[in-house]
Amino acid sequence: GNSVTQMEGPVTLSEEAFLTINCTYTATGYPSLFWYVQYPGEGLQLLLKATKADDKGSNKGFEATYRKETTSFHLEKGSVQVSDSAVYFCALLRGGGFKTIFGAGTRLFVKA
């Protein structure tokens, strides 16, 4: 079946540190891949997406590359800020009427 595995958190970094949150997936076919971010007290916001192999999604300094050979979609940011503190969810969606599968979420704390 389809599944998404994220690295367990919490991840604690100092401001301006490099961020990587690992995400791997299992799916048949060619799913679309997403990263969502949830700030405290809010719903999830779509952060970036990639719809085919080797696509790179990017937004707000975050980026992730769809790697079919390693079935991965790791989230990276070169220099995190305190305002990036949130929970990050990796997700996949197969077309053709299948529902989105979310990872368990990774909480990020950024210290000033």
Partner 1 sequence: EAGVTQSPTHLIKTRGQQATLRCSPISGHTSVYWYQQALGLGLQFLLWYDEGEERNRGNFPPRFSGRQFPNYSSELNVNALELEDSALYLCASSLASGGGQPQHFGDGTRLSIL
Of the pair 43, 69, the CB lying nearest partner 1 is at 43
Residue 46: other Cβ atoms inside 10 A:
12
Q: How far is the CB of 52 from partner 1 (least distance, A)?
A: 9
Q: What is the DSSP string of 41-105?
A: TS-EEEEEEE-STT-EEEETTEEEE-BTTTTB--EEESS--GGG-EEEEEEEE-TTTPPPEE---
Of the pair 46, 53, the CB lying nearest partner 1 is at 46
Describe the strand order of the beta sheet including 19-21 as a list of residue ranges.
Answer: 19-21, 75-77, 62-65, 56-59
Our finding on whether 99 is near partner 1 (CB under 8 A) is: yes
Of the pair 28, 112, the CB lying nearest partner 1 is at 28
Query: Near partner 1 by CB under 8 A, which window of 13-21, 66-74, 78-86, 98-106?
Result: 98-106
Query: Applying CB under 8 A, which residues contact partner 1?
Result: 31-32, 34, 36, 41-46, 49, 51, 89, 93, 95-100, 102-105
